[in-house]
Structure 1
Amino acid sequence: MAQQPRIAMVAGETSGDLLASLLLSGMRGLWPDLQAFGIGGPQMSGQGFDAWWPSERLAVHGYSFEVLGRLAELIRMRRQLRGRLLGGPPDVFIGIDAPDFNLGLEADLRTAGIKTVHFVCPSIWAWRADRVEKIRSAADHVLCIFPFEPALLALHGIAATYVGHPLAGVIPMEPDRRAARAVLGLQDHDAVLAILPGSRSAEVQYITPRFFEAAALIHQALPAIKMIVPAVPALLNRIEQAARTCGLGDVLQVISGQSHTALAACDVTLIASGTATLEAALFKRPMVIGYRMHPLSWRLMRRKQLQPWVGLPNILCKDFVVPELLQDDATPQSLAAAVLQWFDALEQDPDRMTALHQRFTALHQSLQRNTPQLAADAIQKVLAPTA
């Protein structure tokens, strides 16, 4: 291995871009002049990453049905990437999340003698336990973001390291609500709802209309409420159009990005299931988790589910700490009612709010580690020549 390694990486979507950028910052502490290239997003590019394709090309919503329309494109992109990496082998390949794309690629590269690392253990403890065999064949090492995962992987002979959750180090233990509100032009006394309908194109199709219809009902009940919608820049126009279609063009404040600012500023969030729910928990915010997808994808996913919870805060707390309204249960009426219950609790049930804050603080503490350094150290060991 060269003293300054060549590192290939593939990160899917906004969350993967963030994880990979933090990993890059840790690796540059060990190897300031490393070369990093592959598939990535703007935060990775800010760390000197050479993005051959943008990470948003991997953003696919649903379990299988929605993938079909883009399957040929994804297969072609992976084939081209594989050929390019086999033609000029990196010292290590790091797949960041996106297991459906990365695990097969990692297996091929590993067979060719390239070291492979997978960052973020696929949720075999929540659904699709059959993936464990793919992980074993694909990855020399797995970097885990939840503390119970290395022991689970060890049962299957898979080397792994717990590195903490990067977001737990980025998000402060006590967020500055006042400063965040100042950035968004909000007053300290405002009742504020953050609406996060997802970062994928199909999520706009399936989730945003329900969320915005619920927002209209919430606005009827609380006319003075302020509602903030952080949108992925690529989807900003579609979300603004959805707001106008629901008659909320003058009510919803749609902003480009700034999801952390919105979560720090809000009192309650209505949020799509995914990594953003863990971010909301780290911000100690009460939330209502909602999700919808194509009915066929929903039926397939439900058959693979291993736990009663879908939202990450509930999975990690092993309890329905916050409500989940999924698929047919995610009606505008039920979503609005659940959100309004949180606003009522803010005024009338301080014990409930204190208990939620304590649960989320304990969760935050359990995930807080020096993730960039721990991950970089684990990768250095993978790259170390064997005796």
Structure 2
Amino acid sequence: MSAPRIAMVAGEASGDLLAGLVLDGLRARWPELQSTGIGGPQMAKRGFQAAWPSDKLAVHGYNMDVFLRLYELINIRKQLRERLLQERPAVFIGVDAPDFNLGLEAALKAQGVPTVHFVCPSIWAWRADRVEKIRRAADHVLCIFPFEPALLAEHGIAATYVGHPLASVIPLNPDRAAARQKLGLDAADDVVAILPGSRQSEIKYLALRFFQAAAQILPARPAIKFVVPAIPSLKERIEAIAAQAGMAGRVQIVAGQSHTVLAACDVTLIASGTATLEAALFKRPMVIAYNMHWLSWKLMQRKQLQPWVGLPNILCADFVVPELLQDAATPQALAKATLQWLDAKGSAKIAALEEKFTALHHTLQRDTAQLATHAIEKIIRA
């Protein structure tokens, strides 16, 4: 079989990384592969020809930025759809970005272009209404969690579990000593990693609570070290919030390095999201928190499909780590839950949690690039 021409769309840096991984597998199978669409620098390194950069799709939620750019996004999708219907690629692969990709995939699939969607939308957590959209859009879904193919099969959607890429990036046995040395921390230090999120809205609703919790931990552990990995563009704002909580000079705020910080810590106070899965893969105890505008919270509650919100709890089907959400996420409660983990250092409780997270790591660790390539090749040959 000659090298196929494929089209891809990846939004944001995370989608660019995932798409780069898929391209590695496809180019190993077909060295002369041609690929085009919307992508970022990681895809470009693999020879991808981007008609538009992936950061064009990097908008979040329902805010003025989205509405101002809605026409532009619709126009880009229309132009790309018309181009791909003329070029007829062997397959279209939509990587995450479901609000953009599912509509595009549906239009292409309706005209006979095979479609694959990589990363199943969280229909098992919040968005059950997307099932029908996925069925109309994708000939095949590549799933990063092991329970998703069976769930999609219930709705007549073909899918393949390809593992979670993070499980291959994060070592099974993280080197805590090396991470602490890199951050200038001593081996004997009690270290709390504070991760209030990577979006402006998360910082707005969580950062002050997290730093106020840290201030309440200090009297019980005066020598404790707090480390915050911050996106460079948010670093100054986070520093100001720490000062507002009376923690100026008591927290170490570093640019990026979230994996180093998670490897170094004893426990993390962390916003619900993908970072909680990273913390689990680093085998770290955590306190998961989330807070948002009260109206958004009411709407989310109505859509919630299971008792857990944090990914480690969802994947373990149990409250293996505490979740403090909305009104429950008070500084007092956050401090208390964090201190309970610190008090348990070296205990059977910590050992049991590490065992659960190690088993989870093994479950998620697969050759994602190869498995994805095999599934995509079947779609191309069908």
- 1:107-144 CA-to-partner distances (Å, cap 9, x unmatched) read 12322433221111112222222211010001111001
5+ long unaligned stretches in structure 1? none
Q: 1:75 offset after TM fit, Å?
A: 4.9
1:370 corresponds to which letter in structure 2?
A: D
Match of 2:10 in 1: 10
Check conservation: 2:10, 2:54, Cα contact below 8 A.
no
Select which of 69, 74, 83 maps to 1:73: 69
User: Which stretch has the larger CA shift, 138-147 or 121-130?
Assistant: 121-130
Residue by residue over 1:298-324, the C-alpha shift from the partner in whole angstroms, topping out at 9 and shown as x without a partner, is 111110111000001101111100000
Q: CA separation in 2, counterparts of 1:230 and 1:285?
A: 16
Supply the distance in 1 between the matched residues of 2:49 and 2:11 (Cα, whole angstroms): 12
Q: Is the alpha carbon distance of 1:68 and 1:133 closer, same or farther for their aligned partners in structure 2, counting shifts above 3 Å?
A: farther
Question: What code does the residue aligned with 1:333 have?
Answer: Q
Higher mean displacement: 185-194 or 20-29: 20-29
Compared with structure 1, are the counterparts of its residues 333 and 168 closer, same or farther at alpha carbon in structure 2 (3 Å cutoff)? same
1:372 Cα deviation (Å)?
1.3
2:73 partner letter: M
- Structure 1 residues 216 and 75, CA, compared in 2 at 3 Å: closer, same or farther? farther
Give SS of 1:130's match: helix
CA deviation digits over 1:208-246, x for unaligned, max 9?
222122222223432211211112233233223322333
Deviates more, 1:272-281 or 1:206-215: 206-215
Tell whether the 8 Å contact from 2:292 to 2:326 is kept in structure 1 after alignment. Answer: yes
Instruction: For residue 378 of structure 1, give the secondary structure of its aligned residue in structure 2.
Output: helix
Q: Quote the Cα distance in structure 1 between the aligned partners of 2:324 and 2:56.
A: 27
- Higher mean alpha-carbon deviation, 205-214 vs 167-176, is at 205-214
| Aligned 8 A contact 2:3 2:34 in 1 | no
Deviations 1:317-336 (A, max 9, x none): 11100000111111111111
Aligned residues with identical type, % of pairs: 62
CA shift, 1:60, in A, is 1.6
What's 1:308 paired with? 307
| Deviation at residue 56 of structure 1 after TM alignment | 7.8
Q: Which of 376, 382, 387 is equivalent to 2:373?
A: 376
Instruction: Give CA-to-partner distance per residue, 1:161-214, whole Å, 9 cap, x none.
Output: 111111111111111111111221212111111111112221121222221222
Partners of 1:11 and 1:95 within 8 A in 2? no
Q: What is the distance in 1 between the residues matched to 2:127 and 2:228?
A: 32
Q: CA deviation at 1:278?
A: 0.9
User: Which letter does structure 1 place at the counterpart of 2:125?
Assistant: A
In structure 2, relative to structure 1, the CA distance for the partners of 1:272 and 1:17 (3 Å cut) is farther
How far did 1:34 drift? 3.5
Does residue 187 of structure 1 match 2:181?
no
Q: Within 5 A, what are the aligned runs for 1:228-377? A: 228-346=227-345, 350-377=347-374
* Normalised TM-score (structure 2): 0.91
| Aligned-residue RMSD, C-alpha | 2.3
Q: Say which is worse superposed, 278-287 or 220-229, in terms of deviation.
A: 220-229
Q: Which residue of 1 aligns with 2:28?
A: 29
Given that 1:26 and 1:373 are in contact with CA atoms closer than 8 Å, whether structure 2 keeps it comes out as yes
Note if contact 2:262-2:284 (Cα within 8 Å) is conserved in structure 1.
yes
**Structure 2 CA distance for partners of 1:56 and 1:206, relative to 1, 3 Å:** farther
Bigger drift between 120-129 and 259-268 goes to 120-129
Secondary structure of residue in 1 paired with 2:344: helix
In structure 2, give the amino acid aligned to 1:7.
A
State the TM-score, normalized to the length of structure 1.
0.90
* Number of matched pairs: 378
1:268-311 CA-partner distances (Å, limit 9, x unpaired)? 01111111111111111000000111211111111011100000
CA contact (8 A) 1:143 1:160 kept: yes
Change (3 A) 1:30 1:58: same
1:102/1:316 CA distance change after superposition, 3 Å: same
Decide whether aligned partners of structure 1 residues 74 and 109 sit closer, same or farther in structure 2, where only a CA change above 3 A counts.
farther
After the TM superposition, which of the residue ranges 78-87 and 299-308 deviates more from structure 2? 78-87
Letter of the 1:355 counterpart: A
Alignment of 1:82 onto 2:78: yes
5+ residue gaps in structure 2?
A: none
Contact 2:144 2:161 in 1 (8 A): yes
Contact 1:82 1:109 survives alignment (8 Å): no
Kept after mapping to 2: 8 A contact 1:41/1:56: no
**In 2, Cα distance between equivalents of 1:91 and 1:232:** 38
**2:262–2:268: 8 Å Cα contact kept in structure 1?**
yes
Note the 1:196-211 alignment, pairs <5 A.
196-211=195-210
What amino acid is the match of 1:351?
A
* Aligned counterparts of 2:219 and 2:53: Cα–Cα separation in 1: 44
